[in-house]
Amino acid sequence: MGDATDALEIEVSRPFEHVVLVVLTGEIDILSSADLASRLAVVASEPAVFVVVDLAGITFIDSSGIHALVNAVRAAERNGGSAVLAAPAPGPGRVFEITRLADVVPVERTREQALARRFIAAPPRGPEDEPL
């Protein structure tokens, strides 16, 4: 854990309709998890949104960070959407294995696999989403 260069950076984009990509870089610890939780809560509050949280740039995560991520996934689900954690780097990935996080929330090895879940696994949500 460390210095200002490890500060958590949060980048939010919308690569597709109803899809939000959140790219995280740096450390998720007790100091940064509150900001992360509030940013993810805003994203997850959108109705029927599909959220991908890309963790490839995360160098450290503690229990407060895991709590923020799980809460974001649950919030998206409560609002009729879903969320997937993607591409955990080796260090945080090991924490995920130890805590068995993938038993609680969806975790994919790559961002591409996570984004594909929206188009493969997501059922139609309404008449406007029905296949032709």
- Per-residue confidence (pLDDT) for residue 52, from 0 to 100: 97
**Residue-by-residue DSSP string for 104-127:** TS-EESSHHHHHHHHHHTPPP-SG
Residue 33 lies in a domain: yes
Tally the domains of the chain.
1
Q: What is the pLDDT of residues 1-44, one digit of tens each?
A: 455 568 999 999 999 999 999 999 999 999 999 999 999 999 99
Q: Whole domain around residue 119: which residue ranges?
A: 4-123
Residue 128 lies in a domain: no
Report the CATH number that the domain containing residue 68 is assigned in CATH. Answer: 3.30.750.24
Residue 38 lies in a domain: yes
Q: Is the dihedral of CA 83, 48, 64, 61 positive or negative?
A: positive
- Per-residue confidence (pLDDT) for residue 3, from 0 to 100: 54
Q: How confident is the model at residue 98 (pLDDT cuts 50, 70, 90)?
A: very high
